[in-house]
A and B are shown apart, each in its own frame.
Chain A
Amino acid sequence: MSGALIRIAAMALKELRVVLLDRRVLTTLVISPVIQLILFGFATTLEVRNIDLGMVNRDTGVASERFVAAVAAVANVRSIHPYPNEAALVEAIEQRKVLGGLLIPPDLSARVERQDPAEIGLLLDGRRINAAQIVSGYVGEIAAQTGATLRSDGAPAAPQIAVRHWYNANLEFRWFTLPGMITLITTVLVLSVSVQAIARERESGTWDELMALPMRHWEILAGKCVPAFCVGLFNGGLYVAIIPLVSDVPFNGSLGLMLLAIASFSLAVTAIGLSISTLAQNQQQAFLGGFLVIVPMMLLSGYASPVDSMPAWLQPAARIDPLSHMLVVCHGLFLKAMPATMVFEQIWPMLAVAGVALILAVGLLKWRSE
């Protein structure tokens, strides 16, 4: 057995040298991911801020005045431009100068005066559907509130929703994105390293030499796991250290559990990458193959949109995606102080994926080296 260990260690050391000795590789593996983490972590927000709206106001009364003032007072609304008519507003939307516009009818104040239901048109840019919906929600809420203050019939007050947001009381978006980015960036790095492991040998003609050495297939793969795994563990750990430094995102959970989860996750992604690598004839194929799985894994992870909203036939695919489990752990340990039992519930599936993918890789390697 010690012979196998020596061989695996030799392979691992060689792979680490190949991957890490090039200074440019080191740059792409350490510095740029950190920049990405921060850049994208702060950039990706589904919040809508700095909204520019348009308005065609035909009403001169008090109701429209109060309503518009209330809309303008919303922190996320940057400006409200008046337009002379609807056509001008439509053109402004078309050219993306404003996200949408209020169309206030001439009889608004009069109707409110009479306590008749009054409607305000809101024209929104359907190309930016997410922002548009959120704005529609804001404006609807303001209309209801303004309406209530203008009401004089003394109808009974209705119950409201009193909301508290746990783990992230102010719903800061970066509290979601920064921990989530750990998963995404680690995936990209680990997969792009592991996917080259076998393909590089084939392309550069070193495969023959390797096959003539007394190494078993599983020993080769075990050695080749090491660099990608280390890259994942190192980068993942680095991000966990950096995030609390560069932002106000707290880390509430156990660091040991976090590292354990990162290790399991890196292993799973490494194993997937190795399976692809055994099939590739050259680096281009390996890279493109890796890419063919990176994108679906990212989109199914639940980061871009919740798994619950996906169609039922896609949800099982999301459940075997190691990213979906790692995301739960990242958010859980950063924000929720997730207990160990719950973390392990997410770690087992990742290890299962790793095991299956490694067995598959050994099988494929045997098959391909005949």
Chain B
Amino acid sequence: MAEAPLLRLTDVTKRFKGLRRGAAPVQALRGISLSLSPGRSLGLVGPDAGGKTTLMRILAGLVEADSGEVEVLGAPVALLDRSLIGYMPQGGALYAELSVEQNLTLYARLRGLEPSENPERMELLYRATGLAPFMDRAVSRLSGGMRQKLALACAVVAAPPLMLLDEPSVGVDPVSRREIWDLAQELAGTGSSIVWTTSILEDAGKCDEVLLLHEGRVLYAGAPEGLAGQASGRTFARALPPWHRRAALQEVLERPDVISATIAGSNLRAVCRGEAALQGEGWASAEPSAEDGFSLILDDGRPLEPSALAAAFPLRESNPDLPAIAAIGLTRHYGAFTAAQDVSFTVHPGEIFGLLGPNGAGKSTTFRMLSGLLTPSSGRGTVAGRDLTTARAEAREAMGYMPQKFSLYGDLSVEANLRFVAGAYGLKGAAARVAVDRVVGALALQPFLSAMAGLLPLGIKQRLALGAAVLHTPPVLFLDEPTSGVDPLVRREFWHHINAIAARGTAVLVTTHFMDEAENCDRLLLINRSEAIAQGTPDDLKRLVPLEHGEPTLEQAFIALIEAQHLAENEAA
């Protein structure tokens, strides 16, 4: 007899009350069936608001399905033995004011593992997560990547047979992202199963099975290779000229027969709609990826239109003598700790400037100093020619700011949030209305207009945050990880807007963990251990790394440069 499945869902449905009184109920799941054998891992992917989190909560027994059967670990979910699951809610359920150790100890004991009796297990957890040196540090002072690792450790502390991880790799640098995946495998132990939601297809590709959810329905279920296979014969690539890379990308993206296009290294990749094929100009067939399959399945058939967000921006002339953003020796100390050391760079109008670096390297500190949120210990910054130390409010008027963490008002509606930000930027009456309507239209926020912002799925929140940052068409845009937690199609859209906005002469400062996005930038600054270690165009950065096997990818360059610095520092010490 076959082993009882780990998970078995039969025709599960769930609807929620409307977010406002009188609103129509939201159908979150419309008949989900799935079965997962013990020891297998499942990646849940799909656009935002597709039902991923609801499904996870149903599996964890935190939400009751309206109809259908849910069996977890061979028993109906109502009788679930909670010590057998390790559930990590989105963003983790950590106590920010408590220390790393206090959090982990709490969850260990709640999950039936007494830390003092299992020193090896605890040691493994601390070592594997790299949190050992920070045991006494308050969670609020951890970097985003550290926090995700801790939340993961808290969920899987007792090596449960089933792990339910909701977006564990959001906002994590590429190195840590890989570590988190390995960590989950390592900490789970043999025979454990993982169910993992993610917006990053590359992560889902590591799972044994992938489930693509859209509007409460399963659009794909099967092996990740099968997802890529959906796009076979429809994926094309060609070499990119070293200049006008973005213009070339934009041009391809707006073609009616193209669903999605990205810059990958020195190539431009595109997925085509229907039977169309890209020919000439060096186009050739390419190996499809899971992301290509994803784009294809979710294609709504509508070609990408020129960005309405960007159209509202006035055309701004570039003046080489007047940088839009200037960082001059920015340094910030916290007591004995230096969070940023002598960071200098300039960004010109129309330029997209990327800040790269691992979590906790000092990117955010630099970013916050330049956006006027943090006063530098020494050095200074200007935005649109206005000094941040002397004319802070004037400088802020000239910039749009999208913070890393969602920072709009969770208990206000989307519309109220946008209205507030418009007013805060001094837009009144009709002008404010026009700006809000434009952003709502361009970012497809219409269905969520009256929903409470705090209850929105992560990706919609990011759209709202981007919209809020560009309401007043500023000459300078600060985007702190704008695409973390959004699905690939929305990511493509975001960059479509950002590129178009930059083309109008707006200076964009952006941080990102995605290398294809970094390729999109004109210039990059790599920050590690509080110092700027490399600056230049993506190609410049690649050239800094010794060539062994042809041209390195940007990710390889990124890792090599960081390792070189660590090596140099260790030798010095």
**Contact partner, B416, options A14, A211, A214, Cβ 8 Å:** A14
In whole Å, how far is A39's beta carbon from the nearest beta carbon of chain B? 30
- Interchain CB contact under 8 A, B372 and A211: yes
In the bound complex, residues from chain B placing their C-beta under 8 Å from that of A308 are none
- Min CB gap A4→B, angstroms: 9
Residues 1-55 of A contacting B (Cβ, < 8 Å): 2-3, 6-7, 9-11, 13-14, 17-18, 21-22
Interface residues of B in 361-395 (CB under 8 A from A): 371-373, 375, 393-394
- Of A128-136, A200-208, A271-279, the one with at least 4 CB within 8 A of chain B: A200-208
A215 contacts B by Cβ under 8 Å? yes
- For residue B420, CB closer than 8 A to chain A, the reply is yes
User: Are A212 and B373 also in contact (CB < 8 A) when A10-B423, A18-B409, A18-B411 are?
Assistant: yes
In angstroms, Cα B420 to Cα A215, docked, is 12
User: Does A216 have its Cβ within 8 Å of any Cβ on chain B?
Assistant: yes
Q: DSSP majority for the A interface?
A: helix
A370: CB under 8 A from chain B?
A: yes
Q: Which of B445-497 contact A (CB under 8 A)?
A: 468, 478
A153 located at the interface, meaning its Cβ lies under 8 Å from any Cβ of chain B in the complex: no
User: How far, in Å, is B365 (CB) from chain A's closest CB?
Assistant: 13
The reply on B410 being an interface residue by CB < 8 A is yes
Chain A 190-213 per-residue mask, 1 if CB under 8 angstroms from chain B, else 0: 000000000000001111111111
A6-B426 contact in complex given A212-B403, A214-B394, A214-B397, C-beta closer than 8 Å: yes
Q: Which residues of A contact B375 (CB under 8 A)?
A: 370
**Of B396, B411, B412, B422, which one neighbours A10 at CB under 8 angstroms?**
B422
| Assembly CA distance A207 to B374 (angstroms) | 12
User: A14 — which chain B residues lie within 8 A by C-beta?
Assistant: 409, 412, 416, 419-420, 423
Task: List CB contacts (< 8 Å) of B416-434 with chain A.
Answer: 416, 419-428
Contact B426 A214, beta carbon cutoff 8 Å = yes
| Contact residue among A9, A21, A214 (Cβ-Cβ distance under 8 Å from B411) | A21
B82 contacts A by Cβ under 8 Å: no
Say whether B424 contacts A10, CB under 8 Å.
yes
Cα distance, A209 to B410, chains bound together (Å): 13
Contact between B403 and A6 (Cβ–Cβ < 8 Å)? Answer: no
Q: Which of A2, A11, A14: most chain B CB closer than 10 A?
A: A14
Q: How far is the CB of A331 from chain B (nearest CB, A)?
A: 39
Given contacts A10-B420, A11-B424, contact A212 B411 (CB under 8 A): no
Contact: B396 with A206, CB < 8 Å? no
Given contacts A17-B416, A204-B410, A212-B371, contact A6 B423 (CB under 8 A): yes
Nearest-Cβ distance from residue A21 to partner chain B, whole angstroms = 7
Is B127 an interface position by the 8 A CB rule? no
Closest chain A residue to B452 by CB distance?
A21
A10 touches B419 (CB 8 A): yes
Chain B residue numbers with a CB within 8 Å of A212 are 371-373, 396, 399, 401, 403, 478
Q: List the B side residues contacting A211 at CB < 8 Å.
A: 372-373
Residue of B373, B407, B420 near A13 (CB, 8 A) is B420
Instruction: Kindly list chain B residues whose C-beta atoms are within 8 Å of the C-beta of A215.
Output: 393, 396, 424
Complex CA gap A18/B406 in Å reads 17
Whether B408 sits at the interface, judged by CB under 8 Å, is yes
B405 contacts chain A at the CB level, 8 A cutoff: yes
Are A214 and B405 in contact, with the CB atoms below 8 A?
Answer: no
| CB-defined contacts of B373 to chain A, threshold 8 Å | 208, 211-212
* A18 → chain B closest CB, angstroms: 6
Min CB distance, B129 to chain A, in Å? 24
Categorize the interface residue count of chain B.
Answer: 20 to 34
How far does the Cβ of A65 sit from chain B's closest Cβ, in whole Å?
71
1/0 per residue, CB under 8 A from A, across B333-363: the answer is 0000000000000000000000000000000
Q: Are B405 and A205 neighbours in the complex by a CB distance under 8 Å?
A: yes
In the assembled complex, which residues on chain A have CB atoms less than 8 Å from the CB atom of B478?
A: 212
A11 near B423: Cβ-Cβ < 8 Å: yes
What is the distance, in angstroms, from B416's C-beta to the closest C-beta of chain A? 5
Q: Which of B397, B399, B408, B423 contacts A206 (CB 8 A)?
A: B408
Most buried by A among B375, B397, B423: B423
B423–A214 CB distance below 8 A: no
CB-nearest residue of chain B relative to A19? B411
List residues 280-329 of chain B with CB under 8 A from any CB of chain A. Answer: none
| Complex CA distance for A77 and B424, rounded to whole angstroms | 66
Report the bound CA distance from A213 to B421 in whole Å. Answer: 8
Give every chain B residue within 8 A of A6 (Cβ-Cβ).
Answer: 423, 426-428
Q: With A211-B373, A214-B397 as known contacts, state yes or no: A206 contacts B407, CB within 8 Å.
A: yes
Chain B residues with Cβ below 8 Å from A17 are 412, 416
CB contacts (< 8 Å) of B407 on chain A: these are 205-210
Q: In the assembled complex, how far is the CB of residue B426 from the closest CB belonging to chain A, in whole angstroms? A: 4
CA distance A151 to B371 in the complex (A): 93
Give A182 Cβ to nearest chain B Cβ, in Å: 30
Interchain CB contact (< 8 A) of B425 among A18, A206, A214: A214
Closest residue of B by beta carbon distance from A12: B423
CB contact under 8 A between A209 and B419, given known A10-B424, A214-B424 = no
Note all chain B residues with C-beta closer than 8 A to A204.
409-410
CA distance A108 to B410 in the complex (A): 79
Complex Cα distance, B427 from A7, in Å, reads 8
Complex Cα distance, B373 from A211, in Å, reads 6
Contacts of B428 in A (CB 8 A): 2, 6
Q: Could you tell me the distance between the alpha carbons of A247 and B409 in the complex, rounded to whole angstroms?
A: 43
Alpha-carbon distance A206/B410, docked complex (angstroms): 9
Tell me the complex Cα distance, A143–B7, Å: 89
Q: Which residues of B contact A2 (CB under 8 A)?
A: 428
- How far is B413's CA from A21's CA once the two chains are assembled, in angstroms? 10
Instruction: Report Cα–Cα, A21/B417, bound state, in Å.
Output: 13
The chain A residue with its CB closest to the CB of B465 is A209
Chain A residues, CB < 8 A from B405 = 205, 208
- Interchain CA distance A289-B23 in the complex, whole Å: 39
Using Cβ atoms and an 8 Å threshold, which residues of chain B touch A21?
411-412
B409 contacts A214, C-beta separation under 8 Å: no
| Contact residues in A for B412 (Cβ distance below 8 Å) | 14, 17-18, 21
Are A213 and B410 closer than 8 Å at their CB atoms? no
Contact sample, A vs B, 16 pairs, CB 8 Å cutoff: A9-B423, A10-B423, A10-B424, A11-B424, A14-B419, A17-B412, A21-B412, A208-B403, A209-B401, A209-B468, A212-B372, A212-B399, A213-B425, A214-B393, A214-B397, A215-B396
The 6 closest A-B pairs by CB, nearest first: A10-B423, A209-B407, A214-B396, A212-B401, A214-B397, A14-B420
A binding-site residues for B, Cβ under 8 Å: 2-3, 6-7, 9-11, 13-14, 17-18, 21-22, 204-216, 370
- 20 extra interchain contacts, Cβ-Cβ under 8 A, other than A6-B423, A212-B371, A213-B396? A6-B426, A6-B427, A7-B426, A10-B419, A10-B420, A11-B420, A14-B412, A17-B412, A17-B416, A18-B409, A208-B373, A209-B408, A209-B468, A212-B373, A212-B403, A214-B396, A214-B397, A214-B424, A214-B426, A370-B375
